[in-house]
Amino acid sequence: MTISIENETGTDFPFDYDLLANQVIMYTIEREDFPYEAEINLTLVDDEAIRAINQEYRQIDRATDVLSFPMISYIEAGDFSGLEDEEADNFNPDTGEILLGDIIISVPKVYAQAEEFGHSLKREFAFLIVHSMLHLFGYDHLEPEEAAFMENKQREILNEMNILR
């Protein structure tokens, strides 16, 4: 498993964010029974950087809390059968790991939303990673039933990890 974490902001957290990110990513992978070794990139940026990325890739000219860039197209969210056959291009030839995708988090949004929602920075940071990991597994929240399903999964994962509000 390769988890690359880059903090482009220089901002630090009052917890070991590198350790927490690794734990949350690994737990989510295990809980979803993802059957492959994976490569995931997590980049921490400021609002200006995430706004530029959001504008470039989604044509939305505003900062957001997290962006997810899945490298895999799923027929059905969370169904990993057949990925080896259909997604051969998504495997790193040097490591054999599947390129799961990229996560980009706005550090200022982590701070602002933790305060807004009345929970810890650790909880907000972990929540954004779980949310993004579920996107990397093909889940979405465009329709109300999809949103409810995804929200339930997020809550279960964070509760199981004892990362509470």
Q: What is the mean pLDDT of residues 26-50?
A: 96
CA distance 42 to 104: 6
Is residue 57 within 8 Å of 118, Cβ to Cβ? Answer: no
> Could you report the per-residue pLDDT of 107-161, keeping only the tens digit for each?
999 999 999 999 999 999 999 999 999 999 999 988 888 889 999 999 999 999 9
Identify the pLDDT of residue 141: 85
33: its two tokens:
């029974």
The whole-number pLDDT of residue 88 equals 60
Q: Which of 127, 124, 151, 125 is nearest to 139 (CA)?
A: 151
Mean per-residue pLDDT of the chain: 92
Would you say 121 and 111 are in contact if contact means Cβ atoms under 8 Å apart?
yes
Q: What is the pTM of this model?
A: 0.94
